[in-house]
Homo-oligomer: A and B are copies of this chain.
Amino acid sequence: MRGSRAQCWRGRFQGGGYRLTKPRELILDVLAKSKEHLSAEDIFLSVHKIYSNIGLTTVYRNLELLVEMGAVAKLHFGNGKASYEFSRDGEKDHHHHLVCRKCNKVIDYADFMKEEEEFLQKIEKGLSKKYKFEIQDHVIHFHGFCKSCQTS
């Protein structure tokens, strides 16, 4: 039980010459548990609760690594800090975002995902051929006003 997922990650890390360390494991745990998009500081605080040695720098460094590995997506909504979440990876809970222009609230939606993914795959194929670009992931944000920020 314990460690089955850890072992999977261990493999992914070691493939790149990296090691599976406690901070890394805990960061992954936090990311996995909270389906939300978290800031580096959010993650730092969560990990800190059970491992008070963790340093904020380490969190940043590992997020950067995970982004490079393609395991984590770094997103920007409107609040000045980056948000991180697991990237699609063909996962079940892939989703897209509605971002409120006023209060910066973010709604994750998973409706229409089948159609969207299907459509995106077609587009991706065309684009990667034309631009010789290896597409690994995508981000779709709709911007506007959420229910409570609509003036009219």
Contacts and interface: CB of A to CB of B under 8 A. Distances in A.
Interface string A100-139: 1100000101011001100100011011101111111111
A140 interface: yes
Given A98-B127, A101-B68, A139-B140, A133 B111 contact: no
A100 B73 CA distance: 13
How many chain copies?
2
A144 B135 contact: yes
B119 A107 contact: no
A150 B134 contact: yes
B116 A131 contact: no
Given A76-B76, A127-B98, A133 B116 contact: no
Contacts of A124: 142
A1 B88 CA distance: 50
A54 interface: no
Contact of A144 (B98, B137, B143): B137
Give the 6 A-B residue pairs with the shortest CB-CB distance, closest first: A76-B76, A132-B147, A135-B144, A136-B144, A139-B141, A134-B145
